[in-house]
Amino acid sequence: DAGITQSPRHKVTETGTPVTLRCHQTENHRYMYWYRQDPGHGLRLIHYSYGVKDTDKGEVSDGYSVSRSKTEDFLLTLESATSSQTSVYFCATASEASYEQYFGPGTRLTVT
Amino acid sequence: DQQVKQNSPSLSVQEGRISILNCDYTNSMFDYFLWYKKYPAEGPTFLISISSIKDKNEDGRFTVFLNKSAKHLSLHIVPSQPGDSAVYFCAAVQGAQKLVFGQGTRLTINP
């Protein structure tokens, strides 16, 4: 258990509003990731970070931005939420020593 | 373009029998694979992995087989138990510390 928390755990928001999801880890892992899980698609990488202030795009990055100002926190922002961003969002971390990623409990986001 | 594919969305197995979950990949550069298990309302948890230098890795009731020529891997669970009912994802390592996941297979173990 890598000590990963996500907040909020559930959120309902309206189309066009900004939303920020937070991931916090206590394991001092270098790598952090944001995924979304949708039926029929599995887990798709949105953005990832390989260090403080070092981030890069994943497979489905359009409409999302991220920031990592501290090792322990990785924020995912939807600048203007759309209904297609209704999903379950998972944060994950990994150390340099292993390919294994540790996942947080997820945030269920509904955009109405 | 789905580089990692799990073509069976669901699988139902009787308790005590063997469960076999399959995964195919298209990128021959993939050289490390992982299986994750996910219960409802929880994050995925790591189950077992395999490097491309091996063709089998075993951990208790779980065994992963890798067939590089066929670009195919499978997860065997024997004997299957009710607590094994979950969604299983296979994943391949892509580049530096990134994973590409399959769509998942929902395994149901029937008493």
Would the CB atoms of A105 and B41 count as touching at under 8 Å?
yes
Residue A38 has pLDDT above 70, yes or no: yes
Of A4, A31, A42, the CB nearest to B101: A42
Of A31, A35, A41, the CB nearest to B103: A41
Selected for mutation to probe chain A from B2, B99, B100, B105 (highest A CB count within 10 Å) is B99
DSSP string covering A63-110, please?
Answer: TEEEEEEETTEEEEEESS--GGG-EEEEEEEE-TT-S--EE---EEEE
Cα–Cα nearest to B21, from B33, B12, B32, B30: B12
User: What is the distance between the alpha carbons of residues B30 and B85, in angstroms, rounded to a whole number?
Assistant: 28
Please report the pLDDT score of residue A40 as a whole number: 86
Of B43, B45, B102, the CB nearest to A42: B102
User: What is the distance between the alpha carbons of residues B106 and B95, in angstroms, rounded to a whole number?
Assistant: 28
SS3 label, residue B73: strand
Residue A112 has pLDDT above 80, yes or no: yes
User: What is the distance between the alpha carbons of residues A62 and A6, in angstroms, rounded to a whole number?
Assistant: 21
Residues of A in CB contact (< 8 Å) with B are 4, 31, 33, 35, 40-45, 48, 50, 58, 90, 92, 94, 96, 99-106
Q: Alpha-carbon dihedral of residues A15, A18, A19, A22, nearest 10 degrees?
A: 160
Please report the pLDDT score of residue B15 as a whole number: 98
Residues of A in contact with B41 (CB under 8 A): 105-106
pLDDT averages per 10-residue partition of chain B, 111 residues: 92 98 96 96 96 96 97 98 98 90 97 91
* Segment B71-99, tens digit of pLDDT: 999 999 999 999 999 999 999 998 778 99
* Segment A64-90, tens digit of pLDDT: 999 999 999 999 999 999 999 999 999
Please report the pLDDT score of residue A2 as a whole number: 55
